[in-house]
A and B are shown apart, each in its own frame.
Chain A
Amino acid sequence: MQDPPSPDVLVEAAARHFRADAPASAFLARVALNALDLAVRHLRRAADGEARERARLTALLNCDGTLEELNRALCMRIRAGDDAEVAGFVDHLWLATIEKVEVDQPNYSTLRLMRSRVREASGEDQE
């Protein structure tokens, strides 16, 4: 499940930055452009990733609900479950986290190292 702030809020914050009266610092202008890029990635791929995440969670937890409800149920199981049960969630956690970092920071070092290993091991599609 993708983190807040949502793309509309990010675009709004970036726009607010460029609209400000004060001349923007070069650093903050880069941050604002990065926010726009992130929002574009989110809009283009988050829905598919979250649909796969929801399908996995429905199967893992054997229940239904919104993505947030399912993740809340997952959190409760991680807190209270036994070790074997929690170990069964790890593949899912990897896939969901990789999907988040693909949107948030596609060049992050750990993502570059792990994306192909995790997806190949899981048999899930690349995109």
Chain B
Amino acid sequence: MPNPPSRSATTLEADSSTESIARRLAALAQSIRPDRGGGVSGLRQLSGGANQEIWAFSLDDRRYVLRRSPPGVPRPRLALPLSKEAEVLDFAQRGGIPAPAMRFRLREADGLGEGYVMDHLEGETLGPRIARQDRFTSIRGLLARQCGDAIARLHRLPVADAPSMRRVTMRDHLDAALAGFREDGLPRPVMEFATRWLERNLPDEPAPSLVHGDFRNGNIMVDETQGLLALLDWEGASLSDPMLDLAHICLNSWRFGNMGLPVGGFGLREDLHAGYEAAGGTIDALRLRFWEVMLTLRWGVVCVQSLRRFREGDDTVERAMIARRASEAEIDLLHLLAPRG
């Protein structure tokens, strides 16, 4: 899900100290690296969301990443369970999609909560840097094309072989958004306006593909010479319309101010679509448009739900400020549906 609030170090559980995690990982070394195991070193937390943590560590000369929910911490309701996320990532990576290789799936007895260990890859993941820093200038056109290529290949993986997963239709997305912004009874005319358009422009549901679900600048890893290294954060994966992913990476909220470069603030749609079609994908303009509006509304709903969580006791200033980004989605909905000038 977009923008999970960070979690301060002081709220970590007592049994989740760095020493305790290092000890438990050491017990798993032979499973993570069957050829030779190794001693755990360099364990440090890379980031912490409200519901999950990412840790980096080494077994001797090789680097790994642990992604986990600490014991007893619930997952966000729309995210895949980490065990399922691990299956999906493994399936995609083995199918040739650029992604970190799966090394070990945590079991309850391992005492580290739910999650998995994957290879550590070296590259840039911060969206604003990828969109703005000079060192990425020469690969930005290539990157848009590579994104199209990688996501088309994901969409072409045989669904019958994929891990069993929820099927999420366009109607499901629309219903969830509607319920999400109406639940507190506050009038939101622009969201109603967008809903009206979506109801009247709901396309026929196509055959589903495995979709990433949160494909955007921020969930890709990039190298300044090779371009795209990996697709990350698979917790939003589902069986759905492949146009969802293609629209998602073009949402204005993730262009970091570069409106003229619709693909993540770094590339052109023409390059994204050329890469997609060259890898065997088929673009449907009507569905693409539906998803641009639908996912912009969904971002607004995420902001509205942030308000609910703030009021229900998760009263951090960050929650409050995400709630006030609903207007960002609203102005983008108007810009999509009733452009001016």
Contacts and interface: CB of A to CB of B under 8 A. Distances in A.
Interface in B1-26: 6, 8-10
Given A35-B320, A71-B187, A100-B327, A78 B8 contact: no
B334 A94 contact: yes
Contacts of A32: 317
Interface string B254-271: 010111000000000000
B259 A110 contact: yes
Contacts of A89: 189, 193
A25 B189 contact: no
B8 A113 contact: no
Contacts of A24: 8
B77 interface: no
Nearest to B337: A90
B328 A104 contact: yes
Given A72-B187, A98-B331, A108-B328, A117 B340 contact: yes
Nearest to B199: A79
B186 interface: yes
Which range holds the interface residue count of chain A? 35 or more
Contact of B340 (A5, A25, A31, A118): A118
A31 B255 CA distance: 20
Interface of B: 6, 8-10, 186-190, 192-193, 195-196, 252, 255, 257-259, 307, 310, 315-318, 320-321, 323-328, 330-332, 334-335, 338, 340-341
Given A32-B317, A97-B330, A104-B324, 19 more contacts: A5-B307, A10-B324, A13-B316, A28-B316, A74-B187, A86-B196, A93-B190, A98-B331, A105-B328, A107-B257, A108-B328, A109-B252, A109-B255, A110-B332, A110-B335, A114-B331, A114-B335, A114-B340, A121-B341
Interface of A: 1, 3-5, 9-10, 13-14, 16-17, 22, 24-25, 27-28, 31-32, 34-35, 38, 68, 71-72, 74-75, 78-79, 86, 89-90, 93-94, 96-98, 100-101, 103-105, 107-111, 113-114, 117-118, 121
